[in-house]
A and B are shown apart, each in its own frame.
Chain A
């Protein structure tokens, strides 16, 4: 029984000793922290002065006068505020001072949060070795969040490997992150066909295929209309819904037929997105199927259908008013609620 007592004394003494060390560390940090803040302030002053006098040598002197970490941290935020020649000259100064090397080290040796930040800084600093460092990290980094950040940085630098390879390196577990939506949105216009090819892959993760379709609709427009029309009948409801959203943005010659079919046979998210697309495209000939959808068991679908009718203007509102004054039913209640939406009289 005594060992319980002895162990407790040992553990509590150990914890107190560690805490004492941390307090001492904090005291030292407080002293250094003031210096760090001062250095940061000095560097920011030099950066602002640079935007006025463009004296690159003076800036380099200021950059080398502070610890590299302070220079990179303060510089990263400042660089993101600049554009054009000023931006390029500042990057040159940072590169001439060898600061990207520190960031590359951080990408290799930092913790996960630091490594993600390092990818962003490398993309911003655009150094010669940035692409090589990032490609290496895409191959070997153990964290999928870091690998996704690396892919985004490579995309910004125009050096993203083929999409299929990139996604394979990110790994299946990482292919459910909304960060990939950002990657797809940044995709270079010349490589949108790769996105289309990936979105066609039946074996790919539906979330990724849907994200690819959303990005194609935003950046590619009508060019992919036929693909969206075909994808609207995809067995995956997530993909079909994304294709309908895309059609709502781009339009299509057969949009009426496609949306009518989707309203009849799709899952609830497909029906809701079909209704939304009809409203967005102003397809008032779809008033009848939309009125049917207002009886749907899912509230989201009923609300989308009623909203679509309302967006048709007078004709749609007339349909809604007729439904609202009909016998009490689910659709009648939905119509009444939609007509009443807004500030009370």
Chain B
């Protein structure tokens, strides 16, 4: 009779090694990011006062168009646009693109800014759904509204890129709040290195709980609920650690669609945002990398930690799950669409590090981790695996997680200090520990669900219910 027990142990060991190996790779990437991010912050310390920036860069700051796609944003749109018009930058225009909203978004804008129909010649460089009309405001020369048929966020952004005349444009979500000096800070790389810089991303921070008046964050406070608190730590990790590190070695793969600045000519050259994409921001940045490398041009895609865009984080598990599955589908879609770049020597560090990171963290990461939650304790209980395996897996999932999250908080406190009170730091430290016990696992389950939806070619965007940052709560 054949003895299967040895084969079972061997199989379990191989599977465990795959799971632990993937976890080790992921942890190694995070620790590497931490080191590079700390170095980057020490080399490029932030300028504290925006008055200094204005004095320094005000005369040479290039014109910028702020593109704001709006879909069913009637609650906040007027106040959001008011706050954008009040940004501190010498030369900018705000172009709101009403993407066929079903609610009163356009009407609110027409009433709020006394809009009148306006003819403005523009370059039809990118394709998008038909524009129904352009509007300008007699109240301010800075504001234009594009009313177009519904085509999704990427389509609306493409329409905005066509209509804008500035050499740089900045995309921002209609329900987000830019800090008054955010444009000036984000434009800095375009001033210091105007020939090579083609895109710059800023930090997105969670505004839940903060005191907001007149479209401005007046007092930074932490959210009262645990779910947005977890996301505060998550965003710090994503922006202060991952993006800063990859930016330092010019391998930044994502400039957030919620706040990113781009050189128009290059975006037009790559065909703009990919319509119908789940991750149009990731897609655009990958296209830019590919285009610049194919044409053998020197370029920089940078992340600057100081310019801040405040956004509202989901407060319910249902909405957060939808957001995370969509993000996962977006990452997978881009990874497989541009898979020829993976480990392709032609694309240098972008092919190896950038795509390697997506492979380890977004493609394999959630699957191996969820498999690990189920299999490793089971194997250990059945006596197939030794305790050492269990401890190794536990450390990769929990203790290294604590270290990485707390270290991103250390970076924040050492260089930026945006949380006003010591108590906030203590709370966030506790949250950085707790999130590894439950929230992280839940997140991975949603990402596996995103994988499943991607395999089933589920293209639904999912409704993103928001209560509104600036307007009255629903």
Which residues of A are at the interface with B, using a C-beta cutoff of 8 A?
A: 1-2, 4-5, 7-9, 11-12, 14-16, 18-20, 22-23, 26-27, 30, 77, 80, 111-114, 116-117, 120, 145, 149, 176-179, 181-182, 185, 207, 299-300, 303, 306, 334, 337-338, 340-344
Contacts A23-B425, A26-B413 aside, 17 further interface pairs with beta carbons under 8 A come to: A1-B20, A1-B389, A12-B402, A14-B403, A22-B414, A26-B417, A26-B422, A117-B52, A149-B56, A176-B194, A176-B195, A178-B190, A178-B194, A334-B121, A341-B121, A343-B118, A344-B116
A1-B392, A178-B60 known; A15 vs B406 contact (CB < 8 Å): yes
Query: Taking the complex as formed, is B136 at the interface, i.e. its CB lies under 8 A from any CB of chain A?
Result: yes
Contact status A185-B59, CB under 8 Å: yes
Contact status A178-B62, CB under 8 Å: yes
6 tightest A-B contacts by CB?
A: A8-B395, A337-B121, A344-B117, A299-B123, A8-B399, A1-B388
Query: Taking the complex as formed, is B97 at the interface, i.e. its CB lies under 8 A from any CB of chain A?
Result: no
Query: Taking the complex as formed, is B94 at the interface, i.e. its CB lies under 8 A from any CB of chain A?
Result: no
Alpha-carbon separation in the docked complex, A149 to B55 (Å): 12
A27-B422, A77-B51 known; A177 vs B192 contact (CB < 8 Å): yes
Task: Looking at the assembled complex, report how far the CB atom of B277 sits from the nearest CB atom of chain A, in whole angstroms.
Answer: 26
Task: Looking at the assembled complex, report how far the CB atom of A345 sits from the nearest CB atom of chain B, in whole angstroms.
Answer: 9
A–B Cβ pairs within 8 angstroms, 14 of them: A4-B24, A4-B392, A9-B399, A11-B403, A15-B402, A15-B410, A19-B409, A26-B422, A77-B51, A113-B44, A179-B192, A337-B119, A337-B121, A343-B136
Task: Looking at the assembled complex, report how far the CB atom of B132 sits from the nearest CB atom of chain A, in whole angstroms.
Answer: 12
Alpha-carbon separation in the docked complex, A24 to B32 (Å): 27
Chain A residue numbers with a CB within 8 Å of B47 are 113, 116-117
Query: Taking the complex as formed, is B150 at the interface, i.e. its CB lies under 8 A from any CB of chain A?
Result: no
Chain B, 189-216, CB within 8 A of any chain A CB: 190-196
Selected contact of B396 from candidates A4, A145, A181, A341, CB within 8 Å: A4
Chain A residue numbers with a CB within 8 Å of B410 are 15, 18-19, 22
Chain B residue numbers with a CB within 8 Å of A185 are 59
A9-B399, A113-B47, A177-B193 known; A340 vs B425 contact (CB < 8 Å): no
Contact status B407-A15, CB under 8 Å: yes
A341-B119, A343-B136 known; A8 vs B193 contact (CB < 8 Å): no
Alpha-carbon separation in the docked complex, A14 to B404 (Å): 11
Alpha-carbon separation in the docked complex, A19 to B403 (Å): 10
Alpha-carbon separation in the docked complex, A340 to B395 (Å): 67
Contact status A338-B121, CB under 8 Å: yes
Query: Taking the complex as formed, is B139 at the interface, i.e. its CB lies under 8 A from any CB of chain A?
Result: no
Chain B residue numbers with a CB within 8 Å of A80 are 55
Closest to B419 in A: A26
Alpha-carbon separation in the docked complex, A185 to B60 (Å): 10
Task: Looking at the assembled complex, report how far the CB atom of B119 sits from the nearest CB atom of chain A, in whole angstroms.
Answer: 4
Chain B window 395-431, contacts with chain A (Cβ cutoff 8 Å), 1 for yes, 0 for no: 1100110110011011001100100011001100100
Selected contact of A120 from candidates B56, B191, B192, B409, CB within 8 Å: B56
Contacts between chains A and B (CB distance < 8 A), count: 148
Alpha-carbon separation in the docked complex, A207 to B60 (Å): 14
A23-B429, A30-B421, A176-B195 known; A341 vs B24 contact (CB < 8 Å): no
Contact status B406-A112, CB under 8 Å: no
Selected contact of B196 from candidates A2, A15, A176, CB within 8 Å: A176
Query: Taking the complex as formed, is B473 at the interface, i.e. its CB lies under 8 A from any CB of chain A?
Result: no
Selected contact of B116 from candidates A15, A16, A182, A343, CB within 8 Å: A343
Query: Taking the complex as formed, is B43 at the interface, i.e. its CB lies under 8 A from any CB of chain A?
Result: yes
Chain B residue numbers with a CB within 8 Å of A334 are 121
Selected contact of A342 from candidates B118, B190, B195, CB within 8 Å: B118
Which secondary structure dominates where chain A touches chain B? helix
Alpha-carbon separation in the docked complex, A182 to B118 (Å): 36
A22, A120, A178 interface centre (most CB from chain B within 10 Å): A178
Chain A residue numbers with a CB within 8 Å of B119 are 337, 340-344
Contact status B403-A207, CB under 8 Å: no
B44, B116, B121, B407 interface centre (most CB from chain A within 10 Å): B121
Query: Taking the complex as formed, is B394 at the interface, i.e. its CB lies under 8 A from any CB of chain A?
Result: yes
Task: Looking at the assembled complex, report how far the CB atom of A265 sits from the nearest CB atom of chain B, in whole angstroms.
Answer: 22
Query: Taking the complex as formed, is B45 at the interface, i.e. its CB lies under 8 A from any CB of chain A?
Result: yes
Alpha-carbon separation in the docked complex, A18 to B410 (Å): 7
A23-B429, A77-B51, A303-B121 known; A181 vs B395 contact (CB < 8 Å): no
Chain A residue numbers with a CB within 8 Å of B125 are 299
Task: Looking at the assembled complex, report how far the CB atom of A324 sits from the nearest CB atom of chain B, in whole angstroms.
Answer: 12
Contact status B391-A5, CB under 8 Å: yes
Contact status B60-A22, CB under 8 Å: no
Selected contact of A1 from candidates B194, B391, B402, B429, CB within 8 Å: B391
Contact status B59-A182, CB under 8 Å: yes
Selected contact of A177 from candidates B42, B45, B117, B194, CB within 8 Å: B194
Query: Taking the complex as formed, is B102 at the interface, i.e. its CB lies under 8 A from any CB of chain A?
Result: no
Task: Looking at the assembled complex, report how far the CB atom of A22 sits from the nearest CB atom of chain B, in whole angstroms.
Answer: 5
Contact status B394-A23, CB under 8 Å: no
A15, A16, A18 interface centre (most CB from chain B within 10 Å): A15
Task: Looking at the assembled complex, report how far the CB atom of A26 sits from the nearest CB atom of chain B, in whole angstroms.
Answer: 4
Chain B residue numbers with a CB within 8 Å of A342 are 118-119
Alpha-carbon separation in the docked complex, A7 to B60 (Å): 50
Contact status B425-A113, CB under 8 Å: no
A15-B402, A27-B422 known; A5 vs B395 contact (CB < 8 Å): yes
Contact status A207-B195, CB under 8 Å: yes
Alpha-carbon separation in the docked complex, A10 to B386 (Å): 22
Contact status B429-A4, CB under 8 Å: no
Query: Taking the complex as formed, is B82 at the interface, i.e. its CB lies under 8 A from any CB of chain A?
Result: no
Chain B residue numbers with a CB within 8 Å of A12 are 399-400, 402-403, 406
Chain A residue numbers with a CB within 8 Å of B190 are 178
Selected contact of A19 from candidates B43, B400, B406, CB within 8 Å: B406
Selected contact of A8 from candidates B44, B194, B388, B403, CB within 8 Å: B403
Query: Taking the complex as formed, is B120 at the interface, i.e. its CB lies under 8 A from any CB of chain A?
Result: yes
Chain A residue numbers with a CB within 8 Å of B42 are 111
Chain B residue numbers with a CB within 8 Å of A26 are 413, 417, 421-422, 425
Chain A residue numbers with a CB within 8 Å of B46 are 113
Chain B, 49-72, CB within 8 A of any chain A CB: 51-52, 55-57, 59-60, 62
